[in-house]
């Protein structure tokens, strides 16, 4: 290396970067890297239709394991996470057929599925832990690699394990796998969740529908996605009371039957479009959307200056002036959703005034703030609080998405930034948003997927 240059020659660097590692000091070294390129200044206007919820359809796919035969799901988004779950089910012995034209998935489950979910898929998909309950109930054993997914903080499995043990399972961790077994049929029990965990509620629901006797899940999660999985399980023959409340009562049955089900609309994608309309002083009509699933978030947007009007299958969001900053505190449903927190930080960063954003669910969500600062945002964090002082405009820059919602927030910020913004690691956004870039272009944005 030349003395005083401070940087090795390109050939030297290429020889020493491990295969597949294209990054050094935040910049690509080897080969082309995909990114979103956003030219700021667009006003989003028009109509968009949202598909089924990512956070529901993945669990519905896992629930299909509970019945031998073919179940069909509709309104399935064309996203990476669905493909990951489809491949996981195939490895468990299922026949999975996706029809992208009709947005449906057909899952044919064998009499006895395989019971091992390997790490190479599980590490990509947090929702893969939801095969634990169905496999345990159907097969008497489940070996599931400890899951991966978004890097937004710790999400322990203690409540999953404690609840399944209350139902009569034996659970241990061994060589990176969570191994659950039962000597005989699971039995009903009363399970109190320390926190209304969505994942624990879903796993316990799916295990208890085939258990002997009555199971009560207290302090259960109440998200629309929980209601959705309860509805599908009821169609399959499950006996569940208290749907939509914090107390679920499940009377176990001997067997379930395959079914056909339409996935609930994705409220988080809906919320992202609503924030985008307000940030860009736009006007978007969102179809296949349920306003009741976003009451607090929509109220915040109205306080920010938006106009929200219901239409027969959704609602319209419009904003004609610079938005006002709004305080946000994330809480379990029906509180403000943590998965809309990055989008609201992006909104507050260009709003009039200052606002406090408090994150109560995932401690690493604020990693996204560092990228917003690169775009010129004035955001200061202290523990689980972020103080956002709005600025007239942001400045385009290269940034990196660390998770699905952070990626969406950065794209929205790029729409209102001066110049060009490049968002690296776009696969995170692809995991949760179906046709995101195409929809943005149709709404008037100058956005493209490029090789950098």
Residue positions forming the annotated binding site for UDP-N-acetyl-alpha-D-glucosamine = 126, 339, 361
Name the residue with tokens 């972020």. 386
Q: How many CA atoms lie within 13 A of 232 on its CB side?
A: 31
Instruction: Select which of 81, 150, 266, 430 is catalytic.
Output: 150
d(CA 113, CA 66): 10
Q: Which two tokens stand for residue 245?
A: 């409340």
Q: Which residues are annotated as a binding site?
A: 54-55, 126, 339, 361
Contact 201, 226 (CB under 8 A): yes
Q: Distance (Å, rounded) from C-alpha 156 to C-alpha 203?
A: 14
Residue 386, H or E segment? strand 385-389
β 104-109/239-241 pair status: unpaired
> How far is 200 from 198, CA to CA, in rounded Å?
6
State yes or no: is 150 an active-site residue. Answer: yes
What span, in angstroms and rounded, lies between the C-alpha atoms of 185 and 18? 49
What the block records as the tokens of 122 is: 């599980």
**CA–CA separation, 183 vs 232, rounded Å?**
28
- Cβ distance 99 to 106 under 8 Å? yes
Q: Which residue has the tokens 């000597």?
A: 183
Element (H, E) at 399: strand 398-400
Instruction: For CA atoms 195, 200, 202, 207, give the dihedral sign.
Output: negative
Specify the DSSP element, H or E, that contains 349: helix 341-349
Displacement of CA 137 from its chain's centroid (Å): 26
What is the rounded distance in angstroms from the CA atom of residue 407 to the CA atom of residue 254? Answer: 44
d(CA 322, CA 342): 19
Two structure tokens written together for 273: 């479009």
CB 404 within 8 A of CB 428: yes
Residues annotated within a binding site for phosphoenolpyruvate:
54-55
Strand partners, 216: 190, 249
Instruction: Assess contact for 402 and 428: CB atoms under 8 A.
Output: yes
Is residue 209 within 8 A of residue 240, CB to CB? The reply is: yes
Residues 6+ apart with CB under 8 A from 5: none
d(CA 23, CA 20): 9
Catalytic annotation, residues: 150
């Amino acid at each position: 290396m030349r003395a005083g240059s401070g940087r090795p020659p390109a050939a030297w660097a290429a020889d020493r970067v491990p295969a597949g590692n294209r990054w050094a000091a935040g910049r690509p070294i080897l080969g082309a890297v995909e990114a979103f390129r956003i030219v700021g200044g667009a006003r989003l206007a028009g109509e968009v239709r949202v598909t089924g919820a990512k956070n529901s359809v993945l669990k519905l796919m896992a629930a299909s394991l509970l019945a031998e035969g073919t179940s069909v799901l509709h309104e399935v988004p064309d996203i990476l996470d669905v493909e990951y779950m489809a491949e996981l089910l195939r490895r468990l012995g299922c026949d999975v057929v996706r029809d992208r034209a009709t947005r449906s998935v057909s899952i044919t489950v064998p009499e006895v599925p395989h019971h091992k979910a390997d790490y190479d898929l599980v590490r990509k998909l947090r929702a893969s832990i939801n095969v634990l309950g169905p496999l345990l109930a159907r097969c008497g054993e489940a070996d599931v690699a400890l899951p991966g997914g978004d890097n937004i903080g710790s999400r322990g499995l203690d409540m999953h394990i404690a609840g399944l043990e209350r139902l009569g399972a034996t659970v241990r961790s061994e060589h990176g796998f969570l191994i659950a077994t039962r000597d005989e049929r699971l039995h009903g029990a009363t399970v109190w969740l320390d926190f209304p965990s969505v994942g624990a509620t879903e796993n316990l629901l799916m295990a208890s529908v085939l258990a002997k006797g009555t199971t009560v899940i207290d302090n259960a999660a109440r998200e629309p996605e929980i209601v959705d999985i309860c509805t599908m399980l009821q169609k399959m023959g499950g006996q569940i009371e208290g749907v939509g409340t914090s107390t679920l009562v499940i009377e176990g049955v001997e067997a379930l039957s395959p079914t056909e089900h339409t996935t609930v609309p994705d409220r988080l994608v809906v919320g992202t479009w609503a924030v985008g309309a307000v940030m860009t002083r736009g006007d978007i009509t969102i179809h296949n959307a349920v306003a009741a699933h976003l009451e607090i978030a929509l109220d915040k947007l109205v306080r920010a200056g938006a106009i929200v009007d219901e239409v027969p299958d959704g609602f319209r969001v419009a904003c004609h002036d610079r938005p006002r900053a709004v305080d946000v505190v994330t809480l379990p449903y029906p509180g403000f959703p943590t998965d809309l927190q990055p989008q609201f930080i992006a909104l507050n960063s260009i709003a009039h005034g200052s606002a406090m954003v408090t994150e109560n669910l995932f401690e690493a969500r604020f990693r996204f703030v560092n990228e917003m600062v690169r775009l010129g945002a004035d955001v200061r964090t202290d523990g689980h609080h972020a103080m956002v002082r709005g600025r007239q405009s942001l400045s385009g820059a290269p940034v990196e998405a660390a998770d699905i919602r952070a990626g969406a927030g950065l794209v929205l910020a790029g729409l209102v930034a001066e110049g060009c913004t490049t968002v690296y690691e776009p696969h995170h956004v692809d995991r949760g948003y179906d046709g995101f870039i195409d929809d943005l272009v149709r709404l008037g944005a100058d956005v493209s997927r490029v090789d950098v």
